[in-house]
Amino acid sequence: MSQPFEHLEPPDRFHLEAAEGWFELGNGAEAQAELAQLTPELQTHPLALELRWQLHAQARQWETAISLARELATRQPDHAPAWIHWAYSLHELKRTREAREILHPQAARFPNEHVIPYNLACYACQLGNLDETRQWLKKAMQIVGKKTILAMAAADPDLKPLGKDFGEIEKLPAAD
C-alpha cells in the first residue's frame, strides 16, 4: 500500500503506519488491532478502508471485502483501485457478471489503468466470451506492454478457458 500518511495527525497517522507495517509483515491480527485504535472519524478514511480491504481479501473474506470496496468507491470514485477491488471481490464469489458490470464503465474513466482491461479480459473469459477476452487483453497490452500482460496471463487460472487459443494472444499486436 505505502500510502503517504503525513496529512494525518498523530496518533491516527501512527496507527495507520503500524497497521500497514503489520500487514506487510503478514500479521493481519495486529494490523486489525491498530486499525481499531483509529479515532471514529478516521475509521472510514480511504486509507483505512483500503487497508481493511487488503486484510479481508488476504483472508478471503469476500463479502466483507465487497462492502469495504463499495464504500471506498463511493467515497473516492476517482480512485481506480476501489473499483478494481469491488469487482475482484465479486468475481471471487463467482459473481462474475456483477463484477463485469461494476468494472466495465471504469475502463473509459481510467484509460491508463492496465488492471481494468486485464481483469475485464479475465471476466469475459470466465463468461465464455473469448473474442471479448482477446480485445481486452490487447487493450491491456497497449497500456503496459505485451510482455507484462503475457507474463500475467500465462499463470492466470481465469484465462485457462483460452486453452490452445492462448497462442493467439501471443500473436496480438501491442506496443511494447
- Condensed to tens digits (0 to 9), the pLDDT of residues 109-151 reads 999 999 999 999 999 999 999 999 999 999 999 999 999 999 9
Render pLDDT for 18-70 as a digit per residue (tens, 0 to 9): 999 999 999 999 999 999 999 998 999 999 999 999 999 999 999 999 999 99
Instruction: For residues 63 and 31, give the distance between their C-alpha atoms in angstroms, rounded to a whole number.
Output: 19
Residues 6+ apart with CB under 8 A from 76: 46, 82
Instruction: For residues 4 and 17, give the distance between their C-alpha atoms in angstroms, rounded to a whole number.
Output: 9
Residues 6+ apart with CB under 8 A from 18: 30, 34
Domains of the chain (ranges plus CATH)?
94-176 (1.25.40)
Q: What is the pLDDT of residue 7?
A: 74
The amino acid occupying position 78 is D
Residue 4 C-alpha cell reads as: 503517504
